[in-house]
């Protein structure tokens, strides 16, 4: 199926603009991470207790924060969750679940006697488990990157693997930076989204690389830049169709999927956009730069 006719866009001629845009977004994300002392980790990684409460009327967040401070939970986050009468409380201290629920319910009823809190969910993660999950999440992403490097080196050439890895690191760093700028937490679901982004971006990059490899064999008289540009243009219709259909699905999840899946869907929205962009403006230009730097020596 062809969404576009034959195009002849000079993508490599625009690569400097792509590098500037990517550099600006990455720099903004790194500054945000530096100012916040790193990514905002969820209870999955830091340890603590998560409590979801539903009230009859709209939740009074300032009063709830004051109640938590009086209980000694200064480092706690309180926010609405899906509806104005439903709140999510994150306490950075691990406690016995039954004791915490009982004390919190008593404190709310004492300070807000007209409220009737319904505790819908209570989750507790110890700091040791959180540290183990942090290590496993980092190891999962690192292992995926190394596996991709080996796979592409075998299927194509090492220079193709370098372009793909640079694009994947670019996608993950931008997504992490945007999460930091938006002050969103990194949970296990977001790590799963990062791995999904890696797979999605890699799939799009490999489609372009496949076309480049075919054209290198077929168009031996053309320059390397011409071959890359032609390959991207030939893959453009497929790229737009795949990205658009995927974007529609994840955007629908973001809008209608509820609070539980909202941040996963948000990460995927960024991943689809950035992954499509990086396969054209990052992976392929890096391949050209590597060829210009080392191609003649190898020849």
Instruction: Tell me if 236 is assigned to some domain.
Output: yes
Domain boundary among 97, 125, 153: 125
Instruction: Tell me if 3 is assigned to some domain.
Output: no
Q: Are strands 48-54 and 83-91 parallel, antiparallel or unpaired?
A: antiparallel
Whether 243 and 266 map to the same domain: the answer is: yes
The CATH number of the domain holding residue 104 is: 3.30.70.100
The backbone torsions φ and ψ at residue 140, rounded to the nearest 5 degrees and listed phi first, read -65, -45
Instruction: Tell me if 35 is assigned to some domain.
Output: yes
Whether 240 and 97 map to the same domain: the answer is: no
Whether 196 and 263 map to the same domain: the answer is: yes
- Residues written for the chain: 299
Q: Which residue has the tokens 């945000």?
A: 32
Q: Which structural domain range is residue 105 located in?
A: 48-125
The C-alpha atoms of residue 165 and residue 236 are separated, in whole angstroms, by 21
- 3-class DSSP state of 59: coil
Whether 153 and 27 map to the same domain: the answer is: yes
Residue 141 in contact with residue 268, Cβ under 8 Å?
A: no
Total number of domains constituting the chain? 2
Question: Which one-letter DSSP state was computed for residue 83?
Answer: E
Instruction: Tell me if 5 is assigned to some domain.
Output: no
Instruction: Tell me if 4 is assigned to some domain.
Output: no
Whether 22 and 135 map to the same domain: the answer is: yes
The C-alpha atoms of residue 185 and residue 183 are separated, in whole angstroms, by 7
Whether 152 and 85 map to the same domain: the answer is: no
Domain boundary among 71, 96, 125: 125
Whether 253 and 234 map to the same domain: the answer is: yes
The C-alpha atoms of residue 73 and residue 191 are separated, in whole angstroms, by 27
The CATH number of the domain holding residue 280 is: 1.20.1640.10
Whether 54 and 147 map to the same domain: the answer is: no
Domain boundary among 125, 151, 184: 125
Question: Which one-letter DSSP state was computed for residue 14?
Answer: G
| Dihedral over alpha carbons 263, 48, 114, 70 (to 10 degrees) | -130
Q: Which parts of the chain have pLDDT scores under 70? A: 1-5, 75, 93-97, 126-130, 295-299
Instruction: Tell me if 92 is assigned to some domain.
Output: yes
Whether 202 and 233 map to the same domain: the answer is: yes
Whether 207 and 265 map to the same domain: the answer is: yes
Whether 142 and 290 map to the same domain: the answer is: yes
pTM: 0.78
Whether 188 and 202 map to the same domain: the answer is: yes
Which residues have C-beta within 8 Å of that of residue 33, sequence separation ≥ 6?
Answer: 39, 176, 177, 180
How would DSSP label each residue in 142-203?
Answer: HHHHHHHHHHHHHHS-HHHHHHHHHHHHHHHHHHHHHHHHTT--B-HHHHHHHHHHHHHHHH
- 3-class DSSP state of 81: strand
């Amino acid at each position: 199926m062809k969404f576009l006719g034959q195009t002849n866009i000079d993508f490599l001629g625009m690569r400097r603009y792509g590098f500037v845009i990517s550099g600006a977004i990455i720099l903004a994300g790194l500054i945000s991470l530096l100012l916040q002392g790193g990514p905002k980790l969820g209870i999955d990684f830091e340890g603590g207790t998560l409590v979801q409460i539903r009230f009859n009327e709209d939740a009074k967040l300032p009063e709830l924060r004051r109640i938590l401070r009086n209980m000694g939970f200064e480092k706690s986050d309180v926010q609405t969750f899906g509806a104005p009468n439903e709140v999510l409380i994150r306490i950075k201290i691990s406690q016995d679940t039954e004791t915490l629920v009982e004390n919190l319910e008593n404190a709310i009823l004492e300070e807000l006697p007209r409220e009737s809190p319904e505790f819908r969910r209570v989750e507790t993660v110890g700091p040791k488990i959180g540290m183990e999950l942090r290590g496993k999440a980092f190891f999962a992403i690192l292992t995926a990157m190394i596996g991709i490097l080996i796979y592409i080196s075998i299927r194509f050439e090492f220079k193709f693997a370098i372009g793909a890895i640079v694009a994947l690191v670019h996608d993950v760093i931008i997504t992490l930076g945007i999460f930091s700028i938006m002050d969103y937490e990194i949970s296990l679901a977001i790590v799963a989204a990062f791995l999904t982004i890696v797979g999605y971006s890699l799939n799009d990059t490999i489609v372009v690389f496949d076309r480049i490899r075919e054209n290198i064999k077929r168009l031996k008289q053309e320059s390397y830049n011409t071959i890359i540009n032609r390959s991207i243009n030939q893959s453009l219709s497929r790229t737009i169709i795949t990205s658009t259909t995927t974007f529609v699905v994840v955007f629908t999840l973001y809008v209608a999927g509820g609070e539980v899946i909202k941040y996963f869907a948000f990460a995927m929205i960024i991943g689809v956009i950035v992954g499509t962009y990086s396969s054209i403006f990052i992976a392929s230009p890096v391949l050209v730069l590597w060829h210009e730097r080392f191609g003649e020596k190898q020849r």
